[in-house]
Structure 1
Amino acid sequence: MTTALHIALGSAGPRIVPPAPVPVEALLLNRKVEEAALLLPRIFGLCRAAQSLGARAALGLPVRPEDRAALADEILREHLMRFFVFWPRRLGLPSTPLPAQERMAEAVFGPVARCPGPGALDDWLASGAGVAPVLAAMAVRFGPGEAVADLPAATAESLASGAAQENSPWLRHRDSSLLAGIAARFGRGPLWRAAGRLVDLEACLTGRLAPEADSRPGPVLVPTAR
C-alpha cells in the first residue's frame, strides 16, 4: 500500500494534492482490539514503536514497559541520525558513524556528558566537543529572529485539525532552562528546535523520557522523534 503527496508550482502559486486516505476503518472493522493494535503500526510504518504504543493506549490496552522502552530506543536512534549523519551533511560538515552505546553520552555532549546549562551554551558551541559543531553551524546560519515560528503547543485533540502548531520535542521539555535561554536569544528557530532534540536525547540516555500516553479510549498524544 503506497500513497503520494503531489506538490506543483503554477502561476497561481503552489498546489498541493494530498493522497487518498488509507482505508483504515475497513481494515479494522470486526477485528479484536489486540489484532487492531498489532495491525496499525504495519499500516503506518513511520515511527512504528510510537504507532504501536499510541494504538494500545487509544484502544484502552495496557501500555507495557517494553512498549515504552522500544519507543525510547526509536526516538534515540532518530536523534542520533540527525546529529551525526543528516544535519552535518546539510551544513557542510563531515558525517560520522553512530556512536557505540557505552560512549554515547560523551560522543554527543563531549567530556561533560550532558547538556550544557544556559550560561555555558556559548562555551560549549565553541568547544568543538561532541555534536557542538552541528549546533554552532546552525547558530551561524540562522541569526536571532531568523526562521522563527511561534506556534501554539499541540495537544492530542488539536493535532487532527490541520492547523499550524508546535509539535517538537519541546512539548515534553517545557521547563528546560537551556531551551528557554535559546528562545530568548534566538527565538524559536532552527537552533531552538535542534537543541530540543539534544535535550530529548539526554532524556533518552538517562532514562527520563517518560511517554505520557495512558491507556484510555480516545485520542492520545505519543512522543515521537519526527
Structure 2
Amino acid sequence: MTLASVLLGFGPDGPALRTGQRLPVETMVLGRPVPEVAELLPRLFNLCRVAQGLAAQLALGLPATGDLRTEIIRDHVIRLTVILPRAFGLTAPALPADPAELLGRNGLPADGDLCRWDSPLTPLACRITQEFAPGIACTAPLPPPPHPLAEGAYENSAAGRQAGAPTLRAVESRYGRGPLWRFVGLLADLEAALADRLPAPVAAEGLACVPAARGAYGLRLNSCEGRVTGIARRTPTDHLLAPGGALLQALGRLPADQRHLAPRIIALHDPCVPVLIEEPQDA
C-alpha cells in the first residue's frame, strides 16, 4: 500500500505522524500485462513521473526511456523559486532563463556563508538562517539506505545525496543538519544535475533503483507469463516519514514556541504526500 496523506500532531511526547488514506497500488497492477503496468505506474502519481516510469521499465526488462536529468532540474527549480519562497512568505524570484543562475555568479560558497552569496535566492537563504538558529530543527546524521527496498529511517534525500559537497559540509559544521542544510542540499543537487553528475539508474533481477528529485526510488516488479505478479516500492518519503526519520527528528528539535514554523520544516523536507497538521484538541 502507498500513502496518500499523513497527519502530524504535537502531543506531550513530541511530534507524531499518523498515516491517512492509502492508495491500493498493488490491486491496480497485479495481474495486468507487463507493458500496461509500465505505462500505468507513472500515471498513478503526480510527482517524479519520469523516474517512476523509468524504474518500471528497468524492473520489467523493457527498453528504458525518459529524461531523468531534465525532470530533476525542473523539479528543483520550481521548488527553489516558487514553493520555498512562498512557504517562507517571500516574493518568488523570476524563473531563470538558465537554472545555473540560481547557484550564484561564482557558484555555491565553499564557506557556507549564503548571506553574502550573489544569487536570486539569497533572500531565501538569509530568511532560513534568521528563523532557524544553529541546532534548531536538526537531524542526526542518518546512513543512506543499504538496499533500494530497505525499510526504516535513512537519509534518502537530495541533501543526503550531496552530503559531501563543500558547501553542505560547511553548513553542517556550523548549523547542523537542519533547515539550511536541506536548502543547500537542494542547490548542490541542482548543481550536480546541471553537470550531469547524478547517480546512474541501476537494475538487476526485477529490482530497479533510480535517482529522483527527492532521493533514490526503489521498485521491484515480478512477472510471470507476461503479467505482473508482485510489486514492492520504496520512496524517499518512506524513509523520511519512518519512525526516527528525518522529519520527526527535525520537528522534535523545534522548540514549542516555534511550532508555527512546522510547515516550513515540512516544505524543506519535501515529502511527496500532503502532511496535514492536526489542530490541538481542547481538554
TM-score normalised to structure 2 length: 0.64
Structure 1 residue 169 displacement after superposition: 0.9
Match of 1:63 in 2: 64
1:95 and 2:64 matched: no
Structure 1 residue 29 displacement after superposition: 1.4
Tell me if structure 1 keeps the 8 A contact 2:202–2:210: no
Structure 1 residue 137 displacement after superposition: 1.4
Match of 1:104 in 2: 99
Structure 2: 5+ residue runs without aligned partners? 215-283
Tell me if structure 1 keeps the 8 A contact 2:104–2:120: yes
Aligned pair in 2 of structure 1 residues 86, 175: CA closer, same or farther (>3 Å)? same
Structure 1 residue 224 displacement after superposition: 1.8
Structure 1 residue 134 displacement after superposition: 1.2
Aligned pair in 2 of structure 1 residues 17, 196: CA closer, same or farther (>3 Å)? closer
Tell me if structure 1 keeps the 8 A contact 2:202–2:209: no
Corresponding residue to 2:108 among 94, 110, 115:
115
Match of 1:196 in 2: 185
Match of 1:222 in 2: 210
Tell me if structure 1 keeps the 8 A contact 2:108–2:117: no
> CA separation in 2, counterparts of 1:224 and 1:164?
18
Match of 1:73 in 2: 70
Tell me if structure 2 keeps the 8 A contact 1:49–1:71: yes
The C-alpha deviation readout for 1:22-72, integer Å capped at 9, x for no partner, is 14255341413x3322221112332101101211222233434xx2xx221
3-state SS in 2 of match to 1:75: helix
The 5-angstrom pairing of residues 150-169 of structure 1 reads: 150-155=140-145, 157=147, 161=151, 163-169=152-158
Tell me if structure 2 keeps the 8 A contact 1:125–1:135: yes
Flag the structure with higher helix content.
1
Corresponding residue to 1:24 among 15, 23, 26:
26
Corresponding residue to 2:83 among 79, 82, 86:
86
Flag the structure with higher strand content.
2
Structure 1: 5+ residue runs without aligned partners? none
Tell me if structure 1 keeps the 8 A contact 2:136–2:178: yes
Match of 1:147 in 2: 137
Tell me if structure 2 keeps the 8 A contact 1:148–1:187: yes
Equivalent AA in structure 1 for residue 94 of structure 2: P
> CA separation in 1, counterparts of 2:57 and 2:209?
12
> CA separation in 1, counterparts of 2:75 and 2:6?
26
Match of 2:228 in 1: none
TM-score normalised to structure 1 length: 0.78
Aligned residue pair count = 211
3-state SS in 2 of match to 1:222: strand
1:171 and 2:160 matched: yes
Match of 1:212 in 2: 200
Aligned pair in 2 of structure 1 residues 97, 159: CA closer, same or farther (>3 Å)? farther
Structure 1 residue 96 displacement after superposition: 2.5
